[in-house]
């Protein structure tokens, strides 16, 4: 068994010509476990107070606004490209080696926008050091309910992109074992103790059994493949 992530299972296969394995051919879904949204944050003095205004600014200045991510091919990068594509705008992608150096530049006003995991930005926003324009889930997130979703903030109904985790197994694993492990995972992630522990990291249980997880994986694989091809992103 191995931990499946959106990056490894749905994005990575499209970014590398020779990944070394094929998650569709070599692995089978067991269960999805949990998920969390990303956020779009902006420097405090960006002349936009909403995501819609930021996208209008990008539309008026094609390719001039900078969009940071924790690195080429990361979920932040691809979700940012997905949003740009849906909104019909272009921005200059600036890849960093993780959140810390990107945060430094955002707080210093050297970067216009970032796409990244939500928790690192919430306190800075509440302290008035940056602006969080939206979260990328379908609903407002419980740990920062004051922040609107992309659908709300940019008038883009239906837009949603979540970071998720799950479990996969090598193809050929006996079905009874897969079902037994899936049932154990679903039971565990339904307990109040697990939910409370995950919520401490701004993560929410989102368990799916093997059949539903298979459909989710297929949908995500297709979605992020389209984004990678449209943005012409390659990492090798």
By residue range, what is the domain housing residue 12?
Answer: 2-35+162-231
Look at residue 20 in the predicted model and tell me its pLDDT.
81
Q: Are residues 57 and 146 in the same domain?
A: yes
Q: How far is CA 125 from CA 9, 44, 62, 200, in A?
A: 32, 9, 27, 19
Q: Are residues 72 and 168 in the same domain?
A: no
20: in domain? yes
Please state the rounded mean pLDDT for residues 179-191: 95
Q: Say if residue 81's pLDDT is above 90.
A: yes
CA distance linking residue 126 with residue 221, whole number of Å: 35
Q: Are residues 62 and 149 in the same domain?
A: yes
Residue 104 near residue 124 (C-beta atoms within 8 A): no
Q: Are residues 132 and 169 in the same domain?
A: no
Look at residue 24 in the predicted model and tell me its pLDDT.
86
Sign of CA dihedral 76, 82, 87, 89: positive
Give how many domains the chain has, as a whole number.
2
236: in domain? no
Q: Are residues 43 and 144 in the same domain?
A: yes
**Environment class of 54 (CB within 10 Å of its CB; exposed 0-12, middle 13-18, buried 19+):** buried
For 51-101, the DSSP string reads: HHHHHHHHHHSTTTSEEEESSTTSHHHHHHHHHHHHHT---EEEE-SSHHH
Q: Are residues 166 and 208 in the same domain?
A: yes
The 8-class DSSP code of residue 147 comes to S
Closest CA to 169 of 20, 2, 33, 38: 2
Q: Are residues 41 and 31 in the same domain?
A: no
10: left (phi over 0), alpha (psi -120 to 50) or beta: alpha
CATH number of the domain to which 23 belongs: 3.40.190.150
174: in domain? yes
Angle, to 10 degrees, between the axis of helix 51-60 and the axis of helix 75-87?
70
In this prediction the pTM is 0.92
The residue ranking higher by pLDDT, 110 or 22, is: 110
Closest CA to 93 of 118, 111, 117, 119: 111
Q: Are residues 149 and 44 in the same domain?
A: yes
Parallel, antiparallel or unpaired: strands 162-170 and 27-43: antiparallel
121: in domain? yes
171: in domain? yes
Average pLDDT, the chain: 95
Residue 16 near residue 231 (C-beta atoms within 8 A): no
Please state the rounded mean pLDDT for residues 42-50: 97
- Residues in Cβ contact with 114 at an 8 Å cutoff, skipping those fewer than 6 apart: 40, 41, 42, 67, 68, 69, 76, 102, 103, 106, 121
pLDDT > 90: what percent of the chain? 94
Q: Are residues 54 and 129 in the same domain?
A: yes
CA distance linking residue 27 with residue 168, whole number of Å: 6
97: in domain? yes
Q: Say if residue 89's pLDDT is above 90.
A: yes
CA distance linking residue 71 with residue 160, whole number of Å: 21
Q: Are residues 127 and 41 in the same domain?
A: yes
Domain limit, last residue, from 121, 153, 185:
153
CATH number of the domain to which 108 belongs: 3.40.190.10
Q: Are residues 120 and 28 in the same domain?
A: no
Domain limit, last residue, from 91, 119, 153:
153
101: in domain? yes
Parallel, antiparallel or unpaired: strands 113-117 and 66-69: parallel
Q: Say if residue 17's pLDDT is above 90.
A: no
Look at residue 18 in the predicted model and tell me its pLDDT.
82
Q: Are residues 177 and 99 in the same domain?
A: no
Q: Say if residue 97's pLDDT is above 90.
A: yes
Model confidence over 125-157: pLDDT tens digits? 999 999 999 999 999 999 999 999 999 999 999
Domain limit, last residue, from 120, 153, 186:
153
């Amino acid at each position: 068994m191995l931990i499946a992530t959106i990056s490894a299972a749905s994005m990575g296969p499209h970014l590398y010509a020779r990944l070394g394995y094929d998650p569709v051919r070599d692995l089978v879904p067991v269960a999805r476990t949990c998920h969390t949204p990303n956020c779009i944050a902006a420097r405090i003095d960006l002349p936009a107070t909403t995501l819609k205004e930021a996208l209008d600014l990008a539309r008026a200045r094609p390719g001039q606004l900078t969009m940071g991510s924790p690195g080429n091919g990361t979920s932040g990068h691809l979700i940012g490209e997905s949003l740009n594509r849906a909104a019909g705008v272009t921005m200059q992608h600036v890849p960093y080696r993780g959140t810390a150096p990107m945060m430094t530049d955002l707080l210093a006003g050297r970067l216009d926008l970032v796409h990244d995991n939500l928790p690192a930005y919430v306190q800075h926003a509440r302290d008035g050091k940056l602006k969080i324009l939206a979260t990328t889930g379908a609903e407002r997130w419980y740990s920062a309910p004051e922040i609107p979703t992309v659908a709300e903030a940019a008038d883009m109904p239906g837009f949603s992109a979540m970071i998720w985790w799950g479990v996969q197994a090598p193809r050929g694993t006996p079905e009874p074992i897969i079902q037994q492990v899936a049932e154990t995972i679903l039971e565990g992630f339904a307990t109040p103790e697990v939910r409370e522990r995950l919520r401490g990291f701004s993560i929410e249980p989102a368990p799916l059994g093997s059949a539903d997880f298979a459909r989710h994986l297929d949908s995500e694989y297709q979605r992020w493949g389209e984004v990678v091809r449209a943005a012409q992103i390659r990492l090798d």
